[in-house]
A = this chain, B = another copy of it.
Amino acid sequence: MKLRALEERELILAIRKDFSRFDKDLILGIGDDAAAVRAGKRYLLLTKDLLIEDFHFITALHPPYFLGRKSLSVNLSDIAAMGGRAKYALLGIGLPSRTSLRWLEDYFSGFKSLGREWGVLLVGGDVSQSKEIVISVTIIGQAKNIIQRKGARPGHLLFVSGELGNARQGLLLLKRGFKLGDDPRADPLLKAFLDPLPQLALAQELSRLKLASSMIDVSDGLSVDLGHLCEESGCGALVEQEKLPLSRELRFWQKRPYEFALHGGEDYQLLFSLPPEKMDSISGLKKKYKVSCIGKMIRGKEIYLVDRRGRRKILEIKGFQHFKTK
């Protein structure tokens, strides 16, 4: 059996089962956005992502400054999804000999700029030669109140931050040759793909105020990540299509904006559930952050999509396939 036939998800489940020993300080192992370890009164959060050339980014399309930022922000998004804050970063980077010093300077300049924005210090890592560019970032963060994937209950409301589908449309436009600055109607979409902003501030408020009963970041697409949330929480969900937050720009370029919002991937927004009695508190947050109620958690295992006419159908789970080789 070759790996081609093996889904990443299945592999992670197999590893998770295999390594499911715990020690007294380990609160969360494999299977959430980050691992959590008790450290005094707080929790230490540990997360790691790989970015591999031609699978996660295309060097010719991705300015190195933004790639530097993105390689940090996709990890910060995992820390955000736990309601934490990021403290330290380790960076492993494999570079082909064709890499220019200029590219590298821009990459680090971007990495540094986002690190500075969120108070994250680069404390170590590794540099190696490689055939393609390989980036592995590890973040060590901390949290007082962890928000896990599990915790949603039937009746809890389902919220998402920001807008959905922009990044996927941005990638399409990049592939069609659009560059930042070419068209003001394209720029927000290009930006969403090239330089996603981690939702740390909102996440930290949700953690501090103990509002969210569960949370995940939308990295693989709403349908996939909502699937994880439901599975871990042991319930289903109902998503109202009309309530999905779509940007004007996505509607402008895309005839099937809802498809992109549901399955687009790389949005790095937060998806969280909220007990209904906390609706008042969330309205306070709405003054500072864009958050939209897109449905609710329900009994059972199914995830339904309700269309504008109120018709309910099973939401197909299909996520972003990166740049999968054919």
Interface of A toward B, CB cutoff 8 Å: 1-4, 6, 8, 11-12, 15, 18-19, 21-23, 26, 28-30, 34-35, 37, 39-40, 44, 46-50, 52, 54-56, 87-88, 90-102, 104, 108, 112, 115, 121-132, 134, 136, 138, 140, 322, 324-325
Interchain CB contact under 8 A, A30 and B99? no
The docked-state distance in angstroms from the alpha carbon of A44 to that of B124 is 13
Q: Across the interface, do A90 and B35 meet the contact criterion of CB distance under 8 Å?
A: yes
| Most chain B CB neighbours (cut-off 10 Å) among A21, A37, A50 | A50
Check A19/B125 contact, CB under 8 A, given A94-B52, A101-B1, A136-B50: no
Q: Which of B2, B49, B128, B132 has a CB less than 8 Å from the CB of A126?
A: B49
- Other-chain residue from B2, B46, B93 in contact with A88 (beta carbon distance below 8 A): B46
A37 to B140, CA, bound (A): 11
Task: Closest B residue to A45 by CB, please name it.
Answer: B124
User: Could you list some 15 contacts between A and B, CB below 8 A?
Assistant: A2-B98, A15-B108, A19-B112, A22-B121, A30-B125, A37-B140, A39-B39, A44-B140, A46-B90, A49-B126, A50-B92, A126-B136, A130-B132, A132-B132, A138-B138
A136 touches which of B39, B92, B131, B132 (Cβ 8 Å): B92
With A122-B15, A138-B90 as known contacts, state yes or no: A324 contacts B129, CB within 8 Å.
Answer: yes
Q: Does B131 lie within 8 Å of A132, measured CB to CB?
A: yes
Closest B residue by C-beta to A14? B108
A4 to chain B, nearest CB (A): 4
Contact A127 B90 (CB under 8 A): no
Q: A55: which of B29, B39, B101, B128 is its contact (CB, 8 Å)?
A: B128
CA distance in complex: A39, B87 (Å): 13
For the complex, what is the distance from the CA of A123 to the CA of B16, rounded to whole Å? 9
Nearest Cβ distance between residue A95 and chain B, in whole angstroms?
5
Q: Are A48 and B127 in contact (CB under 8 A)?
A: no
- Closest CB of chain B to A96's CB: distance in Å? 8
Query: Cβ of A322: which chain B residues have Cβ within 8 Å of it?
Result: 129
- How far is A66 from B235 in the complex, measured between Cα atoms in Å? 42
Q: A15-B108, A48-B136, A131-B132 are in contact. List 11 more A-B contacts (CB 8 A).
A: A11-B104, A12-B127, A23-B87, A26-B121, A29-B124, A30-B125, A47-B124, A49-B92, A50-B136, A52-B129, A134-B134
Q: Is the CB of B39 within 8 A of A40?
A: yes
CB–CB A126/B3 < 8 A: no
